[in-house]
Amino acid sequence: MWNKTLTLSLFLFFISLVDSIRSYTKSDLNRLRDEVKEMFYHAYNSYLKFAYPYDELRPLSCDGIDTYGSYSLTLIDALDTLAIMGNYTEFQRVVELITSKSKFDANINVSVFETNIRIIGGLLSAHLLSYRAGVNVIPGWPCKGPLLELAEDVAKRLIVAFDTKTGMPYGTVNLKYGVPKGETTITCTAGIGTFIVEFGTLSRLTGNPIYEEVAMNALNALYNHKSKLGLFGNHIDVQTGRWTAQDAGIGSGVDSYFEYLVKGSILLQRPELMKMFREARKSFDKHMKKDDWYMWVSMTKGQVTLPIFQSLEAFWPGVLSLIGDTNSAMKTLHNYHKVWQQYGFTPEFYHIPQTEAGPNKESWPLRPELIESIMLLYRSTGDPFLLQAGEDILRSIQHSSRTPCGYATIKDVRDHRKEDRMESFFLSETTKYLYLLFDTDNFIHNQGQHGSVIDTPHGECIIETGGYIFNTEAHPVDPSALHCCYDLPKQNIFNFSDFVANRNLFKGETISERKNSLKEKHEENLKTVSNVSNIENRESEEIEEDLLNEITTENSSSYIKLEDNDNISSKINAEIETEETNASQNPVDLNVLNFVEKIIPKEKKVFDPVKMLNRFKFENKYPSNTSWENNYKLLSCKAQHFLQKLSIFGEFFNR
């Protein structure tokens, strides 16, 4: 009898839960969609009126401010949102504005990470949406176009950051001059692992594989620096590979690395990235997961160091939905939504044991991560609870963040005080994900039912077939368009015509060759000393010119080339040290070198990304797992249908 009563009580309890969840009609969804659109235009028009051409709007002061590089960041970030909301006229106007005025050859230091996800990501997405938005695209699109050229120009300015001993990038570059002098070698994990979506897209569209390969090398390097527990720290020295911050988590400084393992694997059909993610997730679930929360732990010992939830971690349920694990995703999302209900927003830090916002971390800067996960999970499950959670977010923003000229950061979630900043991602991410949650018929949600056939230099191609992958700034990439341009796996970036000239770099020198080389150098140095004594009465310009010719000859030797390649092999390093020792024992060599250094400035080293990539390949410090690369079963899952079809599209378009 008691069991029957308990069963009935539980049944009635669950019925009450179902009844408490509001049902949404198509009319309700359209009304919420239109409200989000009005929210977007209130912020967008305020930016144009009060802040353009500055990077961001200050919604309390009603003016603008430069934050990331003085290139009208909000305008670029918001561009593809215009297309998604169907405003093709404004999209075309802004494209014309950007392509005619945007220049990135500026003497400014920028974040490599932020410039990649916001500028390159925004330009690539807008380029791929141009055809749909009615832009008069040039012949050869999507493999050519002004927005694509701008994106590649920026990438060329960022790629120098990867020229380190590990291949993991610096965090800052100067757009005009490269890595700033004295730049720190410490980079966060996300700042290393968040390039494969943008750089991979760029390679597939332009046919230049260097971007994708450099990004992959950085991912392999990072993966090979995981701890014995399979965990990743927060910051690492990109020259030595030493972890400088050893807290492991899925939040700030780490988050998008794991996001890009999943999204990169789907977008580019790279099973090895999915394998990396699955291996990392095993370690997360073992050491970090507690009651569907994810704690911060020591990467070497596994014990909890910070029992907190960070607002940035709210991306995680959305990533789990992409691999089909909606059950785990929903459990974790419920935890995050409870925090939202507690404050009306999610604070930057939330102490889980004390159930309260962290001191000095009580703000909410209009972040999109929670609504992103809600949108992706609703697309997977159709659970009406997610529509209600999305409306909760919409109501909070409208009530507490809205100002006469935009939407403001919440400085403290406990009392909803405002701060005078509206980051560009409010228009590129937060409003976009809210809009797509309620606009269930948007072309972004296409599950492969339709597409468009276009003519390209490589033949007919089908685009707009769905399966759009959002980068971490919510810029969507059409995966079908990436198969219209080049078949990258068959290309080889190495130039074998240079092999003979660089033979010593690859096979080394015999002992006799090295002895002969040293003997020739010694004889040349003696001749140089003799020449110096004969030209003492010449003018200084003639001295510099004559000796410059001799130094140029030296620079073309294998000795100098070996020295210019960092850590090529221990054998080569040992040979260099031996030669330097011999030279130091020869007073003639020292005198000549000292004399030359005084009168001739050192040649400025010109960065060559191809040489950098060849160095990575030759050193092969972090070899990829070939069995993972070919295991396409890793890409199969129980996710939403349009993602399952991506592997079919990959085979269909791979001509």
459 burial level (CB within 10 Å; 0-12, 13-18, 19+): exposed
> For this structure, is 255 an active site residue?
yes
Does residue 348 carry a catalytic annotation?
yes
Measure the CA–CA gap between 247 and 236, rounded to whole angstroms: 11
472 annotated among ligand-binding-site residues = yes
Tokens coding 142: 């999507």
CA 162/CA 613 separation, integer angstroms: 9
Tell me the C-alpha distance between 189 and 103, whole Å: 29
* Active-site choice (152, 348, 439, 464): 348
Coil/strand/helix, residue 450: coil
Active-site position among 369, 372, 391, 439: 369
Residue 301 makes CB contacts below 8 A (sequence gap 6+) with: 229
What span, in angstroms and rounded, lies between the C-alpha atoms of 180 and 120?
21
Angle between helix 88-101 and helix 73-84 axes, rounded to 10 deg: 150
Nearest to 39 by CA among 77, 1, 85: 85
Q: What is the DSSP string of 362-405?
A: --B-S--HHHHHHHHHHHHH--HHHHHHHHHHHHHHHHHTEETT
564 among known catalytic residues: no
Q: How far apart are CA 612 and CA 566, in angstroms?
A: 10
3-state secondary structure of 336: helix
**114 annotated active-site:** yes
The full 3-state SS of 281-350, as one line of letters, equals HHHHHHHCEECCEECEEECCCCCEEECEEEHHHHHHHHHHHHCCCHHHHHHHHHHHHHHHHHHCCCCCEE
Using an 8 Å Cβ cutoff, are 127 and 145 in contact? yes
Sign of the alpha-carbon torsion through 527, 533, 538, 539? positive
Closest CA to 488 of 213, 240, 218, 248: 213
Query: Which one of 77, 163, 198, 255 is the catalytic residue?
Result: 255
C-alpha 480 chain-centroid distance = 20
DSSP, collapsed to helix, strand or coil, labels residue 359 as coil
Neighbours of 351 (CB within 10 A): 16
Catalytic residue from among 55, 114, 272, 372: 114
Q: Are 386 and 378 in contact (CB under 8 A)?
A: yes
Distance of CA 534 to the CA centre of its chain: 59
Q: Which of 131, 36, 100, 114 is nearest to 68 (CA)?
A: 114
- Residue numbers in the known binding site are 472
**Residues designated catalytic:** 114, 255, 348, 369
- Residue numbers in the known binding site for Ca(2+) are 472
